[in-house]
């Protein structure tokens, strides 16, 4: 196909030749790439500067994400759930074991925690909620469908 295009270019009076293609392949072959160093970390270091230090995005070097599943039986456990959220762990809570006023208080407390930490909360079913920190995206079935087909 190259010879056909050369003839077309020569009929038009253009002298291109194969130099462009050869240079491209030569640059690619010579450039190569360096193997990444598995011991080198590209994540920012984690520092604890105190409570009023401002918002800092922290990333763990551990690539595995842990999902915490909790079934609180009293309002006092809401603080433990919020602490998991502060540690950027997604949590599934099952509120079926607590009465309605207590479950409402727990959800209200956790909603405030989610708002303060820029997370998200989704109702999975009656009495079951998914609480995700800001580093975890949550999509329901409709959002996943729209993302896939748009």
Give the whole-number percent of the chain exceeding pLDDT 70: 59
Q: Which domains does the chain have, with CATH numbers?
A: 68-136 (3.30.110.150)
Write out pLDDT tens, residues 109-147.
Answer: 999 999 999 999 999 999 999 999 988 888 777 777 777
Give the max Cα distance, the chain.
Answer: 87
Query: What is the DSSP track for 22-47?
Result: HHHHHHHHHH--PPP-TT---SPPP-
pLDDT of residue 88: 92
Residue 1 has pLDDT above 60, yes or no: no
**For the whole model, what pTM was predicted?**
0.54
Alpha carbons 68 and 130: distance in angstroms, whole number: 10
Cα dist from 59 to 46, 47, 55, 88, 135, whole Å: 7, 11, 13, 9, 9
Spatial neighbors of 98 by CB under 8 A, at least 6 apart, are 72, 73, 74, 106
Residue 64 has pLDDT above 70, yes or no: yes
Spatial neighbors of 33 by CB under 8 A, at least 6 apart, are none
């Amino acid at each position: 196909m190259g010879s056909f295009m050369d003839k077309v270019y020569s009929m038009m009076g253009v002298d291109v030749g194969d130099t462009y293609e050869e240079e491209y392949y030569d640059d690619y072959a010579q450039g190569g790439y360096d193997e990444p160093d598995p011991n080198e970390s590209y994540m920012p270091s984690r520092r604890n500067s105190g409570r009023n230090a401002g918002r800092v995005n922290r990333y763990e070097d551990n690539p595995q994400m842990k999902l915490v599943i909790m079934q609180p039986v009293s309002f006092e456990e809401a603080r433990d759930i919020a602490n998991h959220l502060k540690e950027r762990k997604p949590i599934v809570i099952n509120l079926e074991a607590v009465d309605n006023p207590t479950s409402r208080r727990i959800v209200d407390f956790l909603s405030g925690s989610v708002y303060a930490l820029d997370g998200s909360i989704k109702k999975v079913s009656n009495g079951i909620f998914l609480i995700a920190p800001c580093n975890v995206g949550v999509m329901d079935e409709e959002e996943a469908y729209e993302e896939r087909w748009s």
